[in-house]
């Protein structure tokens, strides 16, 4: 499983002109599922993202995780994670000019793990919005920092 994680001050996703998900301050996660991925990779990635220390502390150092931010701002709404499925993260463009999608999980498996990942975040007590699986989406975000981290469960 691969993820592109961005620290954002706001993000939203639309499908066919209709908003599907929106967060304020938090994390925008583009998620790609590989053919060999299992629930174990989703579990690892969800925990990693929740506890990834990429938010500034009082001294301006990246020492705080989303879990820390949520616990410090329990009364503030809108803090959360927006998860957008993105099979193109599995693209391999090392040969030729057209990426190969051979490492991407088939749609049924990818959707199951995508939904499992979202439920894992929600079960941990976090607001988790999402896009629509296998749809053409328009994602809008304001990347803070900018901070963008690439994660790979392998």
Q: How far is residue 23's CA from residue 9's CA, in Å, rounded to a whole number?
A: 8
User: Does the model's pTM come out above 0.75?
Assistant: yes
**Own/partner long-range contacts of 145-148 (Cβ < 8 Å, ≥24 apart):** 145/7, 146/6, 146/7, 147/6, 147/7, 147/54, 147/62, 148/4, 148/5, 148/6, 148/7
**38, 88, 123, 148: the active-site residue:** 88
In the residue annotation, 72 being an active-site residue is answered as no
CATH number of the domain at 63, please: 3.50.80.10
In the residue annotation, 140 being an active-site residue is answered as no
Q: How far is residue 5's CA from residue 11's CA, in Å, rounded to a whole number?
A: 12
The strand pairing partners of 141, in sequence order, are 11
pLDDT at 73 over 90: no
User: What are the helix (H) ranges across the chain?
Assistant: 39-50, 66-72, 107-123
Q: What is the pLDDT of residues 13-52, one digit of tens each?
A: 999 999 999 999 999 999 999 999 999 999 999 999 999 9
> Which of 53, 20, 19, 50 has the alpha carbon at shortest distance from 117?
50
Total domain count, the chain: 1
**6, 25, 55, 87: the active-site residue:** 87
Q: How many angstroms separate the Cα of 24 from the Cα of each of 7, 106, 149?
A: 11, 32, 19
> pLDDT grade, residue 78 (50/70/90)?
confident
5 in Cβ contact with 114 (< 8 Å): no
Domain limits at 137? 2-152
**25, 86, 117, 126: the active-site residue:** 86
In the residue annotation, 88 being an active-site residue is answered as yes
């Amino acid at each position: 499983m691969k993820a592109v994680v961005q620290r954002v001050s706001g993000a939203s996703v639309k499908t066919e002109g209709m908003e599907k998900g929106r967060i304020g301050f938090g994390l925008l996660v583009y998620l790609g599922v590989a053919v060999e991925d299992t629930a174990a990779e989703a579990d690892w990635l969800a925990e990693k993202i929740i506890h990834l220390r990429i938010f500034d502390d009082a001294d301006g150092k990246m020492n705080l995780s989303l879990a820390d931010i949520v616990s410090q701002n329990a009364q503030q709404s809108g803090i959360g994670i927006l998860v957008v499925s993105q099979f193109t993260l599995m693209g391999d463009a090392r040969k030729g000019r057209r990426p190969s999608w051979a490492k991407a999980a088939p749609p049924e498996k990818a959707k199951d793990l995508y939904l499992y990942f979202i439920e894992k975040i929600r079960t941990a007590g976090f607001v988790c919005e999402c896009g629509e699986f296998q749809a053409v989406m328009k994602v809008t975000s304001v990347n803070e920092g900018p901070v963008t981290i690439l994660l790979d469960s392998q």
